[in-house]
Amino acid sequence: MTQKPTILVSGYGSWAKAKNNPAAQVAARLGQEEFDGCKVVTVELSVDTYSLQDQVNELLDRHQPDGWIGLGVSSAALVEPEMVGINWRHFNVPDVADVKLQATPIIAGGPAAYNATLPCEDMVAAMRARGIPAARSFSAGTHLCNQLIYTLAHTAKLRDIDLRSGFVHVPQSPENIAKKCDFGVAEPSMDLAVTTKAIRVCVEVLAAQLRARNDIQ
């Protein structure tokens, strides 16, 4: 019998650009759903650049996941699995501890970049097949979304664990955008039910890959 993999889905919580962050909301919704082919653990991460490594270490120790899908919000109109994380933090929008950083490495002396190890192309194809706008992205920015990609990959390398990890950007929620429509200009949004469906598809694609890996082992 194929062993069911454990997949951790983390959603960033409240911060300067999203008091009610759809990333955390989607993760919470997924935590209420049933999955046949995998065990899904959902958590909310704090948008705190200096505590992120400790958050990652604690969750890896507690749950020992086979896969990790991080979620964060963007201003795009589609769901975007990220392909790469770079070794830079550079942001003027503060984190929850009011930290702003300029051209600061995530890991001093670390590799310039890590590729995500999620099946991004298959995730995009599966989402599109279900009528959900999606595309690969090759720039996760230089805020904490990018930091999570890099931190997960670097930590997996140091621990010598086969963790399939990466990050998916999701659009804003209509509720958040509705608050900013006074002048007739607004960012795109996606209904939380559709976004949750999209990330469920991503989880199922990753779970299938992990089950196949377990069969080979």
Per-residue pLDDT tens digits for 102-135? 999 999 999 999 999 999 999 999 999 999 999 9
> Per-residue pLDDT averaged across 4-24, rounded?
95
Alpha carbons 160 and 170: distance in angstroms, whole number = 30
Q: Is residue 89 part of a domain?
A: yes
Range of the domain at 122: 6-216
Task: For residue 11, give Cα distances in angstroms to 21, 25, 26, 28.
Answer: 8, 7, 7, 8
What pLDDT, on a 0 to 100 scale, did the predictor assign at position 3? 79
> Per-residue pLDDT averaged across 142-147, rounded?
98
Q: Is residue 1 part of a domain?
A: no
pLDDT band for 171, please (50, 70, 90 cuts): very high
The structure's pTM equals 0.96
Q: Is residue 55 part of a domain?
A: yes
Indicate the number of domains in the chain. Answer: 1
pLDDT band for 217, please (50, 70, 90 cuts): low
Q: What CATH number is given to the structural domain containing 93?
A: 3.40.630.20
pLDDT band for 214, please (50, 70, 90 cuts): confident
Q: Is residue 67 part of a domain?
A: yes
> Per-residue pLDDT averaged across 28-45, rounded?
97
Report the percent of the chain where pLDDT is more than 90: 89
